[in-house]
Amino acid sequence: MKNGKRIFSALLIACLLALAAAGCGGNAGGSSGESQPANQDQAKTDAPSEGEVIYKFAFMAPLTGDAAQYGLSMEKSAKLRVEMVNNAGGINGGKIVVDYFDDKNDATEAVNIANKIIADDSYLGVCGPFGSTVAMAVAPIFEKAGITMFSPTASHPDLTGMGEYIFRGTRTQTIETGEYVRFMYDTLNARKVGMLYAQNDWGLSIKEVFEKDFTAKGGELVIAEPYIVGQTTDFSTLLTKIKAQDIDTFFFVAQYDDAAKVIKQAHSLDLDATYVGPSNMMTDEFIALLGDEAEGIFLMTGFVPGNTEPAYVEANDAYKAMYSGEEIDQYGMGAYDTIAMFADACAEAGGDRAAIKDWLYGMVNWEGSSGLYTMTETGDPLKPCYPMIIKDGKFIQYEE
């Protein structure tokens, strides 16, 4: 099996720097309307020449709306990897082409996009979607059509059970939440936890797994309060209920923007506890929103920023070259790796949908920017999980 890492010379990085300076690829594409590719101009640029072999994929994620921060990072990284593959000679001399769709993190919009994708026989696979609710809405459509859907980020435990063409690049909530339970109980000595969680598939699955596993270890989920995503902005009533309980740890399950509001309001109410948040709050924007109030918050994640693994360094250097010094984040790495997997699958198995699916199931220690991937028979990767803490305005690996 080919390794996912490709060694690119300094010449390639220099080329990317030149492209960035010229304004090529420096801005991620936005939505272009209902169920239309978000990169119409880019699609014309990437159009194959006559007789050229192409390997065509679709990308779907929120490029507008409340979750756009995640989707745009994924889009930029996917575009970077496509360019790197094609600049390095493509796939057996052929070219990889990706069409980008804005699903707005909305299940109805995503279903419209999925139906458009399956109507085009030239698509070999789909990178995305971002969120579990959206991914679970479209998974049956792609499964029936026999098109691989590979979500870099959707973590609901039931997702990959929806079909043999459904994969993910992140740990399931069952696995990740189990890691949270062990870290909180064994390392942070949490015994009585108060939880605030998003009332959606993602938040509910974390709540259910956490309560079961934490109770089994001897801890107690004293109180768990849901909030409505996109509607709740004043969390004071819910936080007051949590504060009134005898807890030692506050576990908040919210996207980074909601999480920042929760923490500010919890601090204003003097909610005294150890603060633990979900992996998706590991963004620079989260720290920017909170400033000093982010200090001392714990989380767990699948990679450690600034590590020296060659695949991460290569991806991060190329990303900085293309996007004016920005560093790639965990969401971007997921999309970057997914495109790289598709490219490697096509290089070995050709442009056949079933062969691409089978290649993914055969991955063992495939080296991506976010670490090694070994794919299980359920379409879930085996990946490590690291405890982190925010210290001096940075995410650093936590050590006792």
pLDDT band at 5 (very low <50, low <70, confident <90, very high): very low
**Helices 201-216 + 173-182 axis angle, to 10:** 40
Distance of CA 185 to the CA centre of its chain: 26
Beta strands at 123-127 and 148-151: parallel, antiparallel or unpaired:
parallel
Please choose, from the candidates 144, 165, 176, the residue with its C-alpha nearest in 3D space to the C-alpha of residue 276.
176
**pLDDT category of residue 201 using cuts at 50, 70 and 90:** confident
DSSP state of 187: I
Query: What amino acid occupies position 292?
Result: D
What 238-245 contacts at long range (C-beta under 8 Å, 24+ apart), as own/partner pairs, is 238/196, 239/196, 239/265, 239/266, 239/269, 239/271, 240/269, 242/194, 242/195, 242/196, 242/271, 243/194, 243/269, 243/270, 243/271, 245/192, 245/194
3-state SS, one letter per residue, for 197-264? EECCHHHHHHHHHHHHHHHHCCCEEEEEEEECCCCCCCCHHHHHHHHCCCCCEEEEECCHHHHHHHHH
What pLDDT shows up at residue 50?
61
Range of weakest confidence among 104-108, 127-131, 194-198, 201-205: 201-205
β-bridge mates for residue 251, sequence order: 195, 276
Burial 314-323 (b: 16+ CB within 10 A, else e): bbbbbbbbbb
DSSP state of 94: B
pLDDT (tens digit, 9 = 90+) per residue, 160-179?
Answer: 999 999 999 998 888 899 99
Count other C-beta atoms under 10 Å from residue 364's C-beta: 10
Give the C-alpha separation, 179 to 184, whole Å: 8
As to burial, measured by CB atoms within 10 angstroms (0-12 exposed, 13-18 middle, 19+ buried), residue 302 is buried
pLDDT digits (tens, 9 = 90+) for 346-394: 999 999 999 999 999 999 999 999 889 999 999 999 888 899 999 999 9
Helix ranges (H only) for the chain are 10-21, 40-45, 68-87, 107-118, 132-145, 173-182, 201-216, 236-243, 256-268, 284-290, 310-322, 330-349, 353-361
**pLDDT, tens digit (0-9, with 9 covering 90-100), for 321-336:** 999 999 999 999 999 9
pLDDT of 32: 34
The chain-wide mean pLDDT, for the chain, equals 89
Look at residue 94 in the predicted model and tell me its pLDDT: 96
The pLDDT assigned to 342 comes to 98
**Pseudo-torsion of CA 321, 324, 325, 331, nearest 10°?**
-80
Lowest mean pLDDT among 11-15, 56-60, 139-143, 218-222: 11-15
Q: Of the candidates 227, 232, 238, 225, which has an alpha carbon nearest to the alpha carbon of residue 271?
A: 238
What structural domains and CATH numbers belong to the chain?
10-171+306-382 (3.40.50.2300), 174-301 (3.40.50.2300)
Q: What is the pTM of this model?
A: 0.76
Residue 141 near residue 118 (C-beta atoms within 8 A): yes
